[in-house]
Chains A and B, each alone.
Chain A
């Protein structure tokens, strides 16, 4: 069964960045909040909250439509599959631009998108049940 990562309790986020560090640690083998498949928009302190931007698992993804080389293709159950060999590292990153929720981060080093595989490691390291891995379609 295909799984999808979902933000289920956005308002329980404390902004610790544990999820993004976990993603970067696991997949990119780096210690960085900027090298992950998701971001936490911080409106920190006494006047705001946090917003977690992770792949929404679209079934007809805008990012895939925007990709000129089909490096991004729809994944069964939602989200996209990324074929790095087909990516031509567009200067203007149309895939990132197409994702209006800003849930597709850009890898400045490789000049390609960070594509979420919906592995669930971010949810494993979330202390407040903000993120969960669910079965697609449920």
Chain B
């Protein structure tokens, strides 16, 4: 087996070192497994996530860059949004740049003395003053750094927008123009460390394995590019879900008031492709090219026919959070809102859901025009929402400052907890398909739709008599499999290509990472699952606090009405699984 290295950077002491962590890779594979292990072993309990001692760990897997669509980088940190385990995944070029720089894991601790960005060239680290980047939009910061490093063809730029600098707990870290470590507030941690950006590049590489590797690659390449398995992502992208979900009452509309959107055909994948799609791009090493770039043209001087064009990436979640859930069916307005979110560097789901809460709170009289500085919040009014985002960006008053702290915080302060659609403080993704969706958000360690895909169990088991016990077991098993897959840092869009017996052990074996089978990988994943949960429980998470926002009890989902009792039962069943897994690391 090859050696794997961690680049360990302490911003406070301005020191960095390369550490051989091959043994940790052997035990935890890479990606989510290795990042979790490195993080929980060094993160002290009760730490303030925005303090100097807080750390961020990034990790890729042993197969990154070696196979199609194994392109992700996993970030693990303590979330300033939830106060417990933070995990977020991004594509772009980070995974390739880390590999070329010669390390499979990167840890950043401490705080830079001055507002800075970090340059990593192979193992050489520079912390560079960057006062001129202060308060710059995420997009401008990337443009400038991209220009500064224009002589480096392959590089990765991770950066934050002003939201991260303001320590918004829903701030994200943007990656290479259109990818993100979106969820759970990594952007605020960058901001707290005085780090605007990280630029990574290098010249290292590994020899190609001579055995079965080329044959595996070719086979996977064919499946990725020619089979139906990936067509959805290559074609319209995840936005293809909009109309089908709406048809089955599964698309959240007007802050989860219903699952059918009357304007779905105007913001659907088909409509977006017809009207706005200007380009598709890919993460390094992925032939699918699922990143859909939408373009909107704006006339800014009618007399002289002067136009400007704004471009922003879109897929299902942004369309849900700034389209259907705000009742916006004007796709121009929706893209302009997404563009502003991109510039400020907020997590698009969290900000969209928080605006939806604010609109309902306004309509119910919990907040008024004094709070909004005269704005009247109406679902569907994209132009007002644009002004609202500008006011949030300026922190124009206390209310607008609060809005970028997320819906849970706002609902606690202003009321309306029953319609703040968040699970353990993390705003919900775009599905109203049934109880398993919400149980999925609730019991996933990062409270994401991507952790266990509860929505697909809802869809698969629609009208089925399968018991809640069996459904929860399926949810748990899918979550464990996803820990394996994210430990090799695969993109979840390609899960159907890699989701079959023995394929992961085989591809690992072909690159010399041998000695694993489905059973050993499963056991590793369960241990990683336990480590994540131990961190959560040690940092204040309590299963008893999980509940369905009351509003959802009265909304018709794709699978009918749902009950708090069933939700609680599902949580209890899952608590039992966690209890069992915890024994693996207690022994």
Contact = CB atoms under 8 A, between A and B. Distances in A.
Nearest to A45: B177
A44 interface: yes
Given A15-B282, A16-B285, A127-B287, A30 B203 contact: no
Interface stretch (A17-25, A55-63, A89-97): A17-25
A81 B102 CA distance: 33
Contacts of A108: 203
B203 A125 contact: no
A117 to B, nearest CB: 18
B208 A29 contact: yes
A127 B293 contact: no
A52 to B, nearest CB: 12
Interface residues of B, number: 40
A110 interface: no
Interface stretch (A2-10, A34-42, A70-78): A34-42
Most buried by B among A14, A39, A41, A46: A46
A33 B203 CA distance: 9
Nearest to A17: B284
A45 B281 contact: yes
Nearest to A26: B214
A23 to B, nearest CB: 12
A29 B207 CA distance: 6
Nearest to B65: A31
A31 B66 contact: yes
Given A39-B153, A45-B176, A46-B313, A34 B210 contact: no
Nearest to B313: A46
Contact of A46 (B225, B287, B288, B311): B311
B392 interface: no
Given A17-B285, A127-B287, A46 B221 contact: no
A21 B70 CA distance: 13
A72 to B, nearest CB: 23
A32 interface: yes
B124 interface: no
Q: Kindly state the interface size class of chain A when it binds its partner.
A: 20 to 34
Contacts of B214: 25
A3 B283 CA distance: 31
Contacts of A99: none
Given A14-B280, A34-B205, A45-B177, A29 B142 contact: no
A127 B233 CA distance: 14
B282 A14 contact: yes
A46 B154 contact: no
B392 to A, nearest CB: 22
A30 to B, nearest CB: 5
Given A16-B285, A34-B154, A127-B287, A47 B206 contact: no
Contacts of B472: none
Given A30-B205, A31-B66, A46 B312 contact: yes
B96 interface: yes
B287 A30 contact: no
Contacts of A15: 281-282, 284, 289
Nearest to B202: A34
Contact of A25 (B217, B280, B288, B289): B217
B205 A35 contact: yes
A17 B217 CA distance: 14
Interface string B296-313: 000000000000000111
A21 to B, nearest CB: 7
Contacts of B96: 17, 33
Given A16-B287, A46-B313, A33 B177 contact: no
A132 interface: no
A19 to B, nearest CB: 10
A36 to B, nearest CB: 11
A34 B221 CA distance: 21
Given A14-B280, A29-B210, A42-B153, A47 B177 contact: yes
B330 interface: no
Nearest to B175: A45
Interface in B204-245: 205-208, 210, 214, 217, 221, 225
Nearest to A30: B205
Contacts of B312: 46
B245 to A, nearest CB: 26
Contacts of B283: 16
Residue among A14, A30, A34, A40 with the most chain B CB within 10 A? A14
Contacts of A34: 100, 153-154, 203, 205
B227 to A, nearest CB: 12
A14 B208 CA distance: 24
Contact of B286 (A16, A33, A42, A47): A16
B275 interface: no
A35 B153 CA distance: 13
Interface string A92-127: 000000000000000010000000000000000101
Of B65, B96, B205, chain A has the most CB atoms within 10 Å of the CB of B205
Given A33-B96, A45-B142, A16 B177 contact: no
Instruction: Enumerate the 8 nearest inter-chain pairs by beta-carbon distance, A residue then B residue, closest first.
Output: A45-B177, A32-B205, A14-B289, A16-B282, A46-B311, A127-B287, A14-B282, A29-B208
Given A31-B206, A47-B177, 11 more contacts: A14-B287, A14-B289, A16-B287, A16-B289, A30-B205, A33-B284, A44-B92, A44-B93, A45-B177, A45-B281, A45-B293
18 contacts: A14-B280, A15-B284, A16-B283, A16-B289, A18-B221, A18-B285, A21-B285, A24-B208, A25-B208, A29-B207, A31-B206, A33-B96, A33-B284, A41-B153, A44-B176, A45-B142, A47-B143, A127-B288
